[in-house]
């Protein structure tokens, strides 16, 4: 087999294909030192907000950072960043740069951002694996991956194909978010992906009982709290990046970055 991967004797061809693909992804991403997914099974808790601001907070430390929008059918990263750049769809994909961070998203491959991307699961999974296999990120210190909600297709494909450093699990103070973040984290752990820690987003500043419970259930540390603040909403509309603009919002993310870097 290409790359010299040893297959278990008598392995089913589908299994062999996944192992081969995993090898190709690994080869394509050899220039990346750390890969972190930002994840929760629950929609709307702020995965994209946290992924973007985390990417820029890391970049502000002088690190070379890439941001992959793995929300294939509802890609939001480019809108949050006010990016209108398109990518040539022929491999390898070259992610454009915004304020020093390389960004790749399916939104850069469609002609009209408002058009819905209506794909069944297998096509969505294929797109994620194509991004992982065929994007030319060059040398990066960190690749941050903005995950979609749910516990199927994209999260599953990402966990299968990618050796992540781990997930940052995003939750909000409410119990329902805590329970869903537990679900996401437990799924990841079951598939062998490490949980780096939990971020409470839209926070009062002090973690709720539900957040503490979720972190404890996952055996993960609380990386920090991101305050509930309208400037995050304003930023997502205007394309301005909150951590680059406001020092108090940056300091919420600095705390998270400090914990990730230790
Ligand atoms: N800390 C915050 N304070 C105030 N508003 C926030 C905060 N974080 C996120 N938001 C707002 O909440 C909404 C949802 O955020 P975001 O899109 O980041 O969530 P998501 O988890 O990525 O959603 P999806 O599951 O749809 O991908 C956005 O309008 C965003 O601006
Ligand atoms: Mg999102």
Our answer on whether the CB atom of 228 is closer than 6 Å to any ligand 1 atom is: yes
Smallest Cα–Cα separation from 154: which of 119, 194, 190, 204? 119
Is 169 in contact with 218 (CB distance < 8 Å)?
yes
Our answer on whether the CB atom of 226 is closer than 6 Å to any ligand 1 atom is: yes
3 part of a folded domain: no
35 part of a folded domain: yes
Residue nearest to atom 14 of ligand 1 (CA): 44
How many angstroms separate the alpha carbon of residue 154 from the centre of ligand 2?
Answer: 13
Find the CATH number of the domain harbouring 202.
3.40.50.300
- Name the β-bridge partners of 224: 199
Q: What is the pTM of this model?
A: 0.94
Of the bound ligands, which one is closest to the alpha carbon of residue 69? 2
CA distance 188 to 121: 19
Q: pLDDT of 44-53, one tens digit each?
A: 999 999 999 9
Mean pLDDT of 135-148: 97
Mean pLDDT of 64-70: 97
Burial class of 217 by CB neighbour count within 10 A (0 to 12, 13 to 18, 19+)? middle
How many angstroms separate the alpha carbon of residue 232 from the centre of ligand 1?
Answer: 8
Q: pLDDT of 194-229, one tens digit each?
A: 999 999 999 999 999 999 999 999 999 999 999 999
4 part of a folded domain: no
Residue nearest to atom 31 of ligand 1 (CA): 233
Q: What pLDDT was estimated at residue 116? A: 77
Q: pLDDT of 174-188, one tens digit each?
A: 999 999 999 999 999
Per the structure, the complete domain to which residue 220 belongs is given by 11-261
Q: Give me the number of domains the chain comprises.
A: 1
To test the ligand 1 pocket, which listed residue (49, 181, 229) has its Cβ within 8 A of the most ligand atoms?
49
Atom of ligand 1 nearest to the CA of 146: 22
């Amino acid at each position: 087999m290409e790359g010299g991967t040893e297959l278990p004797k008598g392995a089913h061809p589908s299994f062999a294909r996944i192992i081969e693909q995993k090898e190709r992804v690994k080869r394509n991403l050899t220039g990346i030192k750390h890969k972190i997914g930002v994840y929760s099974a629950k929609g709307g808790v702020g995965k994209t907000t946290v992924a973007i601001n985390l990417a820029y907070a890391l970049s502000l430390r002088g690190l070379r950072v890439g941001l992959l929008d793995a929300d294939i059918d509802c890609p939001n990263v480019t809108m949050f960043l006010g990016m209108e750049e398109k990518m040539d769809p022929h491999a390898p994909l070259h992610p454009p740069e915004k304020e020093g961070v390389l960004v790749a998203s399916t939104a850069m491959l469609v002609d009209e951002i408002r058009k819905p991307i209506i794909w069944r699961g297998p096509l969505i999974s294929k797109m994620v694996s194509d991004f992982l296999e065929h994007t030319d990120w060059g040398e990066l210190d960190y690749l941050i991956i903005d995950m979609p909600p749910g516990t199927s297709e994209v999260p599953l494909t990402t966990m299968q194909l990618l050796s992540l450093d781990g997930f940052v699990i995003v939750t909000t103070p409410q119990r329902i978010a805590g329970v869903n973040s537990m679900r996401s984290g437990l799924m990841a752990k079951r598939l062998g992906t490490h949980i780096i820690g939990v971020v409470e987003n839209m926070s009062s500043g002090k973690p709720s009982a539900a957040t503490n419970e979720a972190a404890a259930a996952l055996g993960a540390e609380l990386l920090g709290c991101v305050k509930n603040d309208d400037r995050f909403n304003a930023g997502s509309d205007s394309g301005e990046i909150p951590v680059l603009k406001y020092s108090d919002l940056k300091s919420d993310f600095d705390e998270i970055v400090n914990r990730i870097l230790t």
